[in-house]
Amino acid sequence: MNQRAEQADWARTPAAGFAAALLGLASITGIAWSLVHTQSASVPADPQPVASLVASETSRIVVHLVDLNSANAAELELLPGIGPVTAEAIVRDRTENGGFASIDDLDRVRGIGPKTIAGIRDRATIGGD
């Protein structure tokens, strides 16, 4: 018998059938174990600790106020409703007319109205107010 024939015959032996059955059983067991452990790990046992952790982390957020009298255009753009054109207008107005005495003085800048002023009031300051 030649070597090729011997290799082909090995696949038909009882040992090959046993090995295939054992590998199949191990694969099925591994898949089942993986499914069971993946599902239980993805669902927290008690969602309350996660919610309290999120709440405690969000309470640590610090808001840095933007000083309207010293901020550059890029810093002014961090304020809601202030884009690059408006930020440049604020800097230009401040240079030409002097600093702002209050946040409400922003109404002298073209393109800024009561809505914009209301939107930035809690994020802006005048010289450390």
Distance CA 120, CA 118 (A): 6
| Residue 64 three-state SS | coil
Q: Which two tokens stand for residue 4?
A: 């090729």
Element at 67 (helix H, strand E): strand 66-67
Give the pLDDT of residue 67: 95
Lowest-confidence region among 2-6, 73-77, 118-122? 2-6
pLDDT category at 16 given cuts 50, 70, 90 is confident
Q: What is the mean pLDDT of residues 19-39?
A: 81
Distance CA 115, CA 128 (A): 23
Sketch the domain layout of the chain as residue ranges: 3-58, 66-125
The alpha helices in the chain, defined as continuous H runs, are 3-10, 14-42, 47-58, 73-76, 84-97, 114-120
CATH assignment of 66-125, among 1.10.3720.10, 3.40.190.170, 1.10.150.320, 3.30.310.80: 1.10.150.320
Q: How far is CA 94 from CA 13, 40, 62, 124, in A?
A: 92, 60, 27, 15
Give the pLDDT of residue 47: 56
pLDDT category at 129 given cuts 50, 70, 90 is very low
Q: How far is CA 23 from CA 9, 20, 26, 29, 34, in A?
A: 20, 5, 5, 10, 16
Each residue of 55-107: pLDDT tens digit?
A: 665 566 666 899 999 999 999 999 999 999 999 999 999 999 999 999 999 99
Each residue of 30-53: pLDDT tens digit?
A: 888 888 777 655 555 555 666 666
